[in-house]
Amino acid sequence: MVIVMATRNKEDIDHVVKKVEELGYRAHLIEGVERTVVAAVGDEREKYRLQSLESLPYVEQVFPILKSFKLAGREARVDDTVIEVGNVGIGGGNFTVMAGPCSVESREQIHEVARCVKDAGAQILRGGAYKPRTSPYSFQGMEEEGLQLLKEAGEATGMPVVTEVMTPEQAPIVARYADILQIGARNMQNFGLLKAVGKIDKPVFLKRGLMGTINELLMSAEYVMAEGNPNVILCERGIRTFETETRNTLDLSAVPVIKKLSHLPIFIDPSHGTGHWDYVTPMAKAAVVSGADGLMVEVHPRPEEAFSDGAQSLKPSKFVRMMQEIEPLVSLCGKSLTANAAAVAK
Amino acid sequence: MVIVMATRNKEDIDHVVKKVEELGYRAHLIEGVERTVVAAVGDEREKYRLQSLESLPYVEQVFPILKSFKLAGREARVDDTVIEVGNVGIGGGNFTVMAGPCSVESREQIHEVARCVKDAGAQILRGGAYKPRTSPYSFQGMEEEGLQLLKEAGEATGMPVVTEVMTPEQAPIVARYADILQIGARNMQNFGLLKAVGKIDKPVFLKRGLMGTINELLMSAEYVMAEGNPNVILCERGIRTFETETRNTLDLSAVPVIKKLSHLPIFIDPSHGTGHWDYVTPMAKAAVVSGADGLMVEVHPRPEEAFSDGAQSLKPSKFVRMMQEIEPLVSLCGKSLTANAAAVAK
Amino acid sequence: MVIVMATRNKEDIDHVVKKVEELGYRAHLIEGVERTVVAAVGDEREKYRLQSLESLPYVEQVFPILKSFKLAGREARVDDTVIEVGNVGIGGGNFTVMAGPCSVESREQIHEVARCVKDAGAQILRGGAYKPRTSPYSFQGMEEEGLQLLKEAGEATGMPVVTEVMTPEQAPIVARYADILQIGARNMQNFGLLKAVGKIDKPVFLKRGLMGTINELLMSAEYVMAEGNPNVILCERGIRTFETETRNTLDLSAVPVIKKLSHLPIFIDPSHGTGHWDYVTPMAKAAVVSGADGLMVEVHPRPEEAFSDGAQSLKPSKFVRMMQEIEPLVSLCGKSLTANAAAVAK
Amino acid sequence: MVIVMATRNKEDIDHVVKKVEELGYRAHLIEGVERTVVAAVGDEREKYRLQSLESLPYVEQVFPILKSFKLAGREARVDDTVIEVGNVGIGGGNFTVMAGPCSVESREQIHEVARCVKDAGAQILRGGAYKPRTSPYSFQGMEEEGLQLLKEAGEATGMPVVTEVMTPEQAPIVARYADILQIGARNMQNFGLLKAVGKIDKPVFLKRGLMGTINELLMSAEYVMAEGNPNVILCERGIRTFETETRNTLDLSAVPVIKKLSHLPIFIDPSHGTGHWDYVTPMAKAAVVSGADGLMVEVHPRPEEAFSDGAQSLKPSKFVRMMQEIEPLVSLCGKSLTANAAAVAK
């Protein structure tokens, strides 16, 4: 921590030094031309209380030197994390596409989509059973029935499935059916939920919140990992900005930033990221070459009839085209769309 | 809903008209100079599916005419909602101050703060027992013990207490001790939690999320109300913007906007809103005259030793000063800091 | 400057130390538990080049300790700046209201507004002659004729006038008619324009940009002051955020922040800040008690016929009401709406 | 325009209808279940005054159906604009790389960079002579001497040059030396400057502002085009958001959005977009496959000694690597890095 003093008064500086030492740090004084700075030396990651020194009128600012995450950080692990889900590998040399409808709406719908996305090369089936909706009057999902249908469609096509869990008490039910537990953007800092999925032995697909910083996203991964679950897949899905031409602003530079800071796989969701089917394929392609480990894409047989998110869903034919367009890019990046877990295992 | 066509093609327009009618609306065609528009007439609030028509390539845009909330809106209720908590009235002619530490840290601390804020004129005691923290390694609150201490301090000073509930399963425990259930900013769209507190017979203090629009805040209130709990108190506590001199950007204009749109009481939290004790009093004063119904303020006996949020906590002496400064403003606005529930009841 | 090293390698650290010393600083080494930090001691405000050290692969981050402004900062001047314009004092114990139409539209219109706002207690007349409009097809202002009419209306009512200057070459013309030169939000970082008005002997009314941080606003004031013009009035008029219920988000906490950092007067423009006449008065009142030195408010005799910004303009009767409502608040803050320059001069 | 009434009162509706007709529109009434809507039919792009009807208390909202740009829009021109600069083609089947230092610092520096970027495949040389800097105390550029050196280096290597113009009066001087006139992000809505470069017969490189919407960017292009200059190149260079890991947030989805709305070429500046050299190449690659027409990249022989923007500048060796990595992507997109103007001309 660096503590910038608002004063040159020796007594005040001594008081801060004393406080710093009481909290278990060594204090290091730097007398600048215009400011005196107290550097608090020690492991600052657990000593959040230093920040409260900013309440002293003679302290101008307190700022940290270190990132706060440990388990999620590159320093904890140099190699990229590779997660195996059924026979699918995520991270490392793999490029993984999760596709399916926003919501599971019926047996026919989910089976139809599952076959289509499987044939086009997707490896994992997505579909919402519990839906977070801004309005309580909107369709809230088929709930457990939706989970069953999703699992059934996944088994019929040989694909693991990913679906959202919204509350801690839903976690066991969802885990019974799903291969990967998704935490939605609105729940990125739902810490009770993060702790709950951290205790379950299934990979977690953690979406960045609309107003979540990259640092906060990694801290949320840290919550899951600190409970003993190391298999976290991060997902950038657009942040909220002033721009209204797109539903959200897809922060694609989060990919290289996260690759630098963390060993966890990072996915891109171009459907939510842009909010319009027209923009999904260009952003999917951009995601591949930026270094992302995979995509989550919404596909619906008849988007104009979708119960939710129709505007951003690809029709099957558009999804097939998208897969054809990303394939050479995946190869060019030295990755594989078809590699399975066995292939990447040592 | 207004559906702007991207085409003049009669067949495409007819197709949209047919879809609109299938969903139960009357379609109304307007041929403009440059665009044809289909207006879908009917109660659009429950017909979210119209939005999916945007996926049609010959539809340029679909936008709603109406706000989506019902129970929370002015149209549902012209008079301001007044909520009674013990002998305290919230909303209407009352100006209510909730004050206390960010976290309950010990019996001594919470009793000390309770006495101080009560003496200074606060009507409700706040204090966190379950703490949402960005880092899993930061202090997570005293949990149930904290709830007990808070209640004890509230009873000792004759003040109802408000504290945060973070997960649906915590709701019954928190409701056992607290008079008002707080939903934190990070949980504004934790819909499972909103439904849970909607089923409990205690007022809900709902904080606006860092990324929440005013419309979304009212939709979240709608979740609580739709479960049967009409007693929702809204709270603006700063949104996330690019400015870094303050921890968040306090959106004070949310007060007149919400007063226009809704009958629910709206509070301001200048502590989180600014993130620095120095700015709390000016913003508290501004809140009063902007028409807010109350304040939530963090007070700590020794902010520099606080386990959390020390930088934004007022020392007791500063809080006393703040109360002295807002009092004449409250009077000038024709409201009362001392009015109790009985006084405002008809 | 604090330079956080990404390495423990002695050679790399020595290289950074050498670079720091070459740029004229003393280097101060702090070996932390997890990071080594090089503090560069010297006046960092002119040594912007240190920031480029961040390009070295073994440097993690470079961050400044000091704010960059000098002349605009509290350290340069402890007392508040008070600016005299005709017989009007701005800053210090004065509360000054600038009012008038968005655009000067005709002789009748500007005279009508001038009389009205003067009678209601405004001290300075505003009105746009050169209008910055998003569209080249929108009304661009009456230009020099507008300046003449504005000045005429100001003289007829005994009020100094403020109007916007958009390019360096307009500066002399505008200065011929105006008593205060306004820099619009879109030009906050139009550095050529800032230098131009910095060379003119008239006060400058500098609006914060939609995208401008408080620090950048003060740096823009610094541009004007560095050219020799110390009379800068700052104005917060709303920043751009994700919220759409208001045209912009009025960042009222900028008032106490600027009062802490700078000695310059700070005004609030609740018309642009909210974009809707309904919200102007509540925010005007909030501005007074937050510590602002004045207001800039748009008034139009028939807002629904305004050539620009009608939605946010007050009708004369609403403006009269607003002035009546702020008056007791101004008094309560120990300031005066009527004090003139002579009264505040020592 | 769609005017949503806040009332059912016949008299009020009639009044709005009358106002609409006075402004030259046909009024079209739609009586919905909960709201009455008045659609104003006519060319709404020049009738900005309708917006002022929002000031009427019985009008809830006024919103436009059409985008406001004409010349910049796809409707004005179906084919992509291709601009010829010397023997370089911009837009259409070309992928064009503009590279060079942030600032021209000396003859040696600019010649060294010019040779390097030319050899690596760049087609246009960039370099700042007039520098917009947040602080008046930072290096402000070599001004006319810088322009001369830039042109000299361009001629020595056979590359056209692009450089920023900051004020209308600089425009003729800059146009004497530069082949393309750059408008910086801070000047995106400096309308006087846009009009000035609109009158010069040289292509304009228009950067999106930090808080500029895509719609506003296109309206600013419209300002240039309305003066008679059709050769506008748009550039996305990052917008300002809450994220701080990157200097700005590169809004790459602006590429497909602009491709849909406009026929103008769109470039990406990954240097300013991310602010850190580490992230430049991944974002440059993403730009290619998202459909961008080119890149603007900062290159400096010794970034750690740069007078400005060192942290985001590529060393020559890194730039060579970047060009090697984008080349196969450019081919895959069916575009060419080497095509010259002659080749693309019909």
Residue D323 lies in a domain: yes
SS3 A55: helix
Which residues of chain B neighbour A310 with C-beta distances below 8 Å?
49, 51-55
Report the pLDDT value the prediction gives residue D339, as an integer from 0 to 100: 54
Please measure the distance between the N-terminal and C-terminal CA atoms of chain B and give it in whole angstroms.
41
Q: Tell me how many residue pairs between chain A and chain D have CB atoms under 8 A apart.
A: 113
- The answer to whether residue D29 neighbours chain B at the CB level (below 8 Å) is no
Which residue of chain B is at minimal alpha-carbon distance from D39? B30
**Mean per-residue pLDDT, B2-30:** 90
Q: Give the CA radius of gyration of chain C.
A: 23
CB-CB neighbors (< 8 A) of A226 in chain B = 136-137
Q: Which residue of D7, D20, D26, D28 is the best one to mutate when testing the B interface, meaning the one whose CB has the most B CBs within 10 A? A: D28
Residue A48 carries which side chain, given as an amino acid letter?
Answer: Y
Q: Burial-class residue D106 by CB neighbours within 10 Å (0-12, 13-18, 19+).
A: middle
Helices (H), chain C: 10-22, 107-120, 143-157, 171-177, 191-198, 214-226, 254-261, 270-274, 280-290, 316-332, 341-344
* pLDDT for B226: 95
- Predicted confidence band of residue D47 (pLDDT cuts 50, 70, 90): low
Q: Which two tokens stand for residue C111?
A: 């005279």
Mean pLDDT of all residues in chain B? 93
Would residue C68 count as lying in a domain?
no
d(CA C205, CA C163): 9
Q: State percent of chain B over pLDDT 70.
A: 97
Mean predicted lDDT score pLDDT of chain D:
93
Q: What is the pLDDT of residues B96-142, one digit of tens each?
A: 999 999 999 999 999 999 999 999 999 999 999 999 988 898 889 99
Q: Which residues contact A255 (CB under 8 A, 6 or more apart)?
A: A236, A266, A268, A287, A290, A291, A292, D282
Final residue in a domain of this structure, among C63, C93, C112: C63
pLDDT at C110 over 80: yes
User: Is D337 a residue whose pLDDT tops 80?
Assistant: yes
**N- to C-terminal Cα separation, chain D:** 41
Q: Quick one: what percent of chain C has pLDDT higher than 70?
A: 97
The answer to whether D60 and D35 are in contact (CB under 8 A) is: yes
Give pLDDT, residue A2. Answer: 87
**Chain A hits for D278, Cβ within 8 Å:** 256, 260
Mean pLDDT on C320-342: 87
For the domain that residue C29 is a member of, what is the CATH number? 3.30.70.1140
Question: Are D300 and D306 in contact, with CB atoms under 8 Å apart?
Answer: yes
State residue D59's pLDDT score. Answer: 92
Partner residue opposite A166 with nearest CB, options B192, B240, B304: B192
Q: What is the pTM of this model?
A: 0.94
Within 8 A by CB and 6+ apart from A70, the residues are A45, A76, A222, B137
Rounded-to-integer distance, Cα A288 and Cα A307, Å: 29
**One-letter identity of residue B147:** L
Residue A275, SS3 per DSSP: coil
Q: Residue D204: which of D220, D218, D224 has the closest Cα?
A: D224
Tell me, rounded to whole angstroms, the distance of Cα B256 from its chain centroid: 14
For the record, the structure tokens of B137 come out as 């390694």
For residue B251, give the nearest of C213, C243, C256 by CB distance: C243
pLDDT recorded at residue A343: 41
d(CA A299, CA A294): 16
pLDDT one-digit tens code per residue, B246-305: 999 999 999 999 999 999 999 999 999 999 999 999 999 999 999 999 999 999 999 999
Same domain, D288 and D317: yes
Question: Shortest CA distance to C50 belongs to which of C32, C31, C30, C66?
Answer: C66
pLDDT(C47) > 90:
no
Q: What's the rounded mean pLDDT across residues D133-148?
A: 92
Task: Establish if A71 belongs to a structural domain.
Answer: no
Read off the pLDDT band of D341 (50, 70, 90): very low
- Is the pLDDT at C246 greater than 80? The verdict is yes
Residue A51 pLDDT: 86
Given a contact cutoff of 8 angstroms between Cβ atoms, the answer to whether C235 and C204 are in contact is no
Same structural domain, D35 and D90: no
A92, A46: one domain: no
What is the structure's pLDDT at A92? 94
pLDDT at C346: 37
H-helix segments, B185-313: 191-198, 214-226, 254-261, 270-274, 280-290
Structural domain containing residue C49: 2-63
The pLDDT score that the predictor gives to residue C23 is 87
> Over the range C106-132, which residues count as b (16 or more CB within 10 Å of their CB) and which as e?
eeebbebbbebbbebbbbbbbbbbbbb
Element (H, E) at C297: strand C294-298
Q: Are A60 and A13 in contact (CB under 8 A)?
A: no
Is the predicted pLDDT of residue C78 greater than 50, yes or no? yes
Give the amino acid at D77.
R
Q: What is the CA radius of gyration of chain A?
A: 23
Question: Residue by residue, what is the 3-state secondary structure of D89-103?
Answer: EECCCECEEEEECCE
Q: Residue A345 pLDDT more than 50?
A: no
On chain D, the residues whose CB falls within 8 A of the CB of C53 are: 304, 310
Enumerate the residues of chain C whose CB falls inside 8 A of the CB of residue B214. 243, 245
The pair of three-digit structure tokens given for residue B174, joined into one six-digit string: 């928190």
pLDDT(D113) > 60 = yes
Distance from CA of D126 to the nearest CA of B (A): 29
Is the domain of B113 the same as that of B11? no
Whether residue C1 contacts residue C40, with contact meaning beta carbons closer than 8 Å, is answered with yes
- Do C209 and C237 sit in the same domain of this protein? yes
Number of domains, chain B? 2
Q: Does C231 have pLDDT greater than 90?
A: yes
CB contact under 8 A, C274 and B253: yes
Q: Does the residue A72 lie in any domain?
A: no
pLDDT on residue D345: 39
CB contact under 8 A, C279 and B257: yes
Q: Residue A342: which of A151, A143, A89 has the closest Cα?
A: A89
Instruction: Measure in Å the smallest separation between the Cα of D93 and chain C Cα atoms.
Output: 31
Q: Mean of the pLDDT values across residues A161-177?
A: 97
Q: Can you give the pLDDT at residue C288? A: 98
B251/B243 Cα distance (integer angstroms): 13
Top mean pLDDT of A9-13, C156-160, D54-58 is at C156-160
Fill in the amino acid letter for A84: E
Say which range, A144-158, B1-15, C291-305, has the weakest mean pLDDT.
B1-15
pLDDT at A45: 62
Domain membership of residue C70 (yes or no) is no
Q: What is the mean pLDDT of chain A?
A: 93
Say yes or no to pLDDT of A286 above 90: yes
C6 touches chain D (CB under 8 A): no
Q: In angstroms, what CA-CA distances link B227 with B71, B181, C308, C328?
A: 11, 15, 45, 44
Per-residue pLDDT for B18 more than 60?
A: yes
Asked whether C127 and C161 are in contact (CB, 8 A), the reply is yes
Compute the average pLDDT of residues C14-31.
Answer: 90
Are A244 and D289 in contact (CB < 8 Å)? no
Whether the pLDDT of residue C344 is over 60: the answer is no
pLDDT for B15 equals: 92
Is C311 part of the contact surface with chain B (CB cutoff 8 Å)?
no
Distance CA D311, CA D305 (A): 10
**Min Cα separation D149/chain C (Å):** 22
Q: How crowded is residue B18: how many other Cβ atoms within 10 Å of its Cβ? A: 11
pLDDT of residue B44: 66
Average pLDDT over residues D318-341: 90
Contact list in C for residue A42 (CB cut-off 8 A) is 32-33
Instruction: Give the end of a domain, one of D14, D32, D63.
Output: D63
Among chain B residues, the shortest Cα distance to C326 is held by B289
Q: Is residue A78 part of a domain?
A: no
Residue D44 is predicted with a pLDDT of: 66
The alpha-helical segments, DSSP class H, found in chain D are: 10-22, 107-120, 143-157, 171-177, 191-198, 214-226, 254-261, 270-274, 280-290, 316-332, 341-344
Q: What is the pLDDT of residue D111?
A: 98
Q: Has residue C163 been placed in a domain?
A: yes
Count of CB atoms within 10 A of residue A231's CB?
22
Tokens of A128: 């919402």
Written as six digits, the tokens of C92 are 């210090």
Pairing of strands A2-5, A59-63: antiparallel
Between residues A68 and B104, the one the model is more confident about: B104
Residues D269 and D166 in one domain: yes
pLDDT digits (tens, 9 = 90+) for A178-214: 999 999 999 999 999 999 999 999 999 999 999 999 9
Contacts of D144 (CB under 8 A, 6+ apart): D129, D173
Same structural domain, A8 and A130: no
Which of C188, C252, C285 is the mutation pick for testing B, counting most B CBs within 10 A? C252
Which CATH number fits the domain that encloses residue B293?
3.20.20.70
What does the pLDDT average to over D101-115?
97
Mean pLDDT: which of B5-14, B116-125, D127-136 is highest? B116-125
- C152-177 mean pLDDT: 97
Residue A73 lies in a domain: no
Q: Contact D253/A282, CB-based, under 8 Å?
A: yes
**What are the tens digits of pLDDT across the range B71-101?**
999 988 989 999 999 999 999 999 999 999 9
- Residue where one domain finishes, among candidates D31, D63, D95: D63
Judge residue D61's burial from the number of C-beta atoms within 10 Å of its C-beta, 0-12 exposed, 13-18 middle, 19 or more buried. Answer: middle
d(CA D51, CA D37): 15
**CA end-to-end span of chain C, whole Å?**
41
User: Nearest 10 degrees: CA dihedral of A102, A103, A105, A108?
Assistant: 50
Q: Tokens standing for D92?
A: 């259409």
Mean pLDDT to the nearest integer, D209-227: 96
Do C76 and C45 form a contact (C-beta atoms < 8 A)? no
Give me the residue label for tokens 């009332």.
Answer: D7
Mean pLDDT of C305-315: 91
Closest Cα partner for B198 from A136, D52, D31?
A: A136
CB proximity list for C331: less than 8 A, separation 6 or greater: none
Q: Which residue of D has its CA nearest to C276?
A: D55
Do D220 and D278 belong together in one domain?
A: yes
Where does chain B show beta strands of DSSP type E? 2-5, 26-31, 36-41, 59-63, 83-85, 88-90, 96-100, 124-126, 161-164, 180-183, 204-207, 232-236, 266-268, 294-298
Q: Looking at residue C46, what is its pLDDT?
A: 58
A95 lies in the same domain as A37: no
Q: How many CB atoms lie within 10 A of CB A74?
A: 17
- List the subunits that have 3+ CB pairs under 8 angstroms with C: A, B, D
Q: Would the pLDDT of C339 be above 60?
A: no
Same domain, residue pair B255 and B296: yes
Asked whether residue D243 falls in the same domain as residue D155, the answer is: yes
What integer pLDDT is reported at residue B47 of this predicted model? 67
Q: HSE, CB side, 13 Å, CA atoms: give it for residue B137.
A: 17
**Inter-helix orientation angle A280-290/A254-261, to 10°:** 30
Taking CA–CA distances from C75, the nearest residue in chain A reads A34
Q: How many Cα atoms sit within 13 Å of B47 on the Cβ side?
A: 22
More confident residue, C182 or C48: C182
Residues 31-90 of A with CB under 8 A from B: 45-46, 48-49, 51-56, 62, 68, 70
Which three-class secondary structure state does DSSP give residue C312?
helix
C-beta separation of B41 from B51 below 8 A: no
Who's near D114: CB < 8 A, 6+ residues apart? D100, D125, D153, D154, D156, D157, D159
Q: CA nearest C61 in A: which residue?
A: A65
Run of H or E residues at C181: strand C180-183
Q: Are residues A149 and A193 in the same domain?
A: yes
Q: Is A167 within 8 Å of B56 when comparing Cβ atoms?
A: no
CB contacts, 8 Å: A24 with chain C: none
pLDDT at C342 over 90: no
